[in-house]
Structures are given as structure tokens and as C-alpha cells.
Structure 1
Amino acid sequence: MVREIMRDESFLSQKAGPATQDDLSVAQDLLDTLAAHKESCVGMAANMIGVNKRIIAFDSEGSYMVMFNPEIIKKSGPYEAEEGCLSLAGIRKARRWNSIKVQYQNEKFQTRFKTFTGWTAQIIQHEIDHCEGVLI
């Protein structure tokens, strides 16, 4: 189901709680909402649709990927970026890393590790910031 975009900064500033298997429908709503905004958005976190759980969805080189409880466990190659956000007005500066290794759970809640670089890594970092309550 396509959900309304959350713009309440006090809600978006809250740290997200852990996702569980009970949140699988939230992941589907996140994918549906991301697809509905594909012209202006490449990633979303669950708090952007009003659910304060550690779930992100993003465009990974042409196909959508969902992560439950993502954590960056390794990073390298810092750089300065400018980013926009569907939930917030304007463009903001952000410190990003060119390469990140992420620990996350898939839709079966199996723990996985994957390294991402470049644009995809930047998207994931932005969405994990949402999970941490960091406003970009």
C-alpha cells in the first residue's frame, strides 16, 4: 500500500526500534511507496511512512532491495555530499563514505553482510541515518 510521506521532524528525529517478522507488511508498504515516488526518490526508511522501525528500501543498481535492522560495520573513503530528502525541504550537506560494509537481515530474518560502493552506498547511508533519527 502506498503510504503518506511523514514530514514531522520530531517524529523523524526519533531513533527507530528493531524490526521483527511482524513488520514484513511495513517493508511491502515501503517498497510500494518508494515505487510510487521513483521519479524523485531512490531510497526510503520506514519512519518516512510513519513507522519507527529499522527497515530501509532502496534502488540497488536498478532493482529494489529491503534491509531489516541494517548496521554499517565498516566504512572507508570519506567525502562530502549534498543530498535532498522526500521528507525534508531543501538540500543539505552530509559526510559520506565511498565504501561501506553493511550487516542486515533479509526478509527471512537471516543475517547477511554485503559491501556497497558509490551511489548505492550513499543511498544506504542516508536511509540508515533516518533509522538513527538523524535529519539530513
Structure 2
Amino acid sequence: MIQKIMRDEAFLSQKAEPATLEDLPVAQDLLDTLNAHKAGCVGMAANMIGVNKRIIAFDNEGKYMVMFNPEIIKKSGPYETEEGCLSLTGIRKAKRWQSIKVQYQNEQFQTRFKTFTGWTAQIIQHEIDHCEGVLI
């Protein structure tokens, strides 16, 4: 179901709770909402639809991917950039990494590891910041 975009900065500043199997419907809502905003949005975290859980969905080279409980465990190649956010107005500066290795759980809650680079890595970092309560 397409959900309303959360704009309350106090809510968005909270650190997300770990996701569980019971949160699978949230992932579908996240995908539906991301798809509805695909013209101006390439990734979303669950708190952007009002659910304080550690779930992200993003465009992974043309195909949406969902991660439960993502954590960046390795990073390299720092750079400075500017980003916008559907939940916030304006553009903000951000420090990002060219390459990241992420530990996460898939839809069956199996632990996975994957390395991402470039634009996809930047999107994931932005969404994980949402999970940490960091406003970008």
C-alpha cells in the first residue's frame, strides 16, 4: 500500500528498531511507496513512511532491492557530495564512501553480505543514515 511521506523531523531523528519477520508487510509498503515516487526518489527507509524499523528499499541498477537490518561493515574512498530527500526540503552536504560492504538480511531473514559502489552505494548510505536517525 502506498503510504504518506513522513516529514516530522523529531520522528525521523529517532534511531530505528531492528526489523523482524513480522515487518515483511512494511517492506511491501515501502516498495509500493518508492515505486509511486520513482520520478523523484531512488531509495527509502521505513521511517520515511512512519515506521521506525530498520528496513530500506532502493534502486539497485534498475531493480528494487530490500534490506532488513542493514549495517555498513567496510567502507573506502571518502568523498563529499550534496543530497536531497523526499522527507526534507532542500539540499544538504554529506560525506559518502565510493565503496561499501553491507551486512543485511533478505526477505527470508538470512544474513547476506554484498559490496556496492558508486551511485548505488551512495543511495544505501543515505537510507542507512535514516535508520540511524541522521537527517540528510
- Deviation string 1:23-82 (CA, Å, 9 cap, x unpaired) is 000000000000000000000000000000000000000000000000000000000010
Cα distance between partner residues in 1 of 2:118 and 2:130: 19
Cα distance between partner residues in 2 of 1:19 and 1:13: 17
Cα distance between partner residues in 1 of 2:49 and 2:6: 5
Counterpart of 1:84? 84
Counterpart of 1:106? 106
Q: Helix, strand or coil for the counterpart of 1:66?
A: strand
Over 2 Å off, 4+ runs: none
Matched, 1:59 2:59: yes
Q: Helix, strand or coil for the counterpart of 1:135?
A: coil
Counterpart of 1:47? 47
Matched, 1:126 2:97: no
TM-score under structure 2 length normalisation: 1.00
Cα distance between partner residues in 2 of 1:90 and 1:58: 21
Cα distance between partner residues in 2 of 1:113 and 1:135: 26
Q: Helix, strand or coil for the counterpart of 1:125?
A: helix
Q: Percent identity at matched positions?
A: 87
TM-score under structure 1 length normalisation: 1.00
Cα distance between partner residues in 1 of 2:96 and 2:114: 17
When the two chains are superposed, the root-mean-square deviation of aligned CA atoms in Å is 0.1
Cα distance between partner residues in 2 of 1:79 and 1:9: 26
| Corresponding pairs, count | 136
- Deviation string 1:75-120 (CA, Å, 9 cap, x unpaired) is 0000001000000000000000000000000000000000000000
Query: Unaligned regions of 5+ residues in structure 1, if any?
Result: none
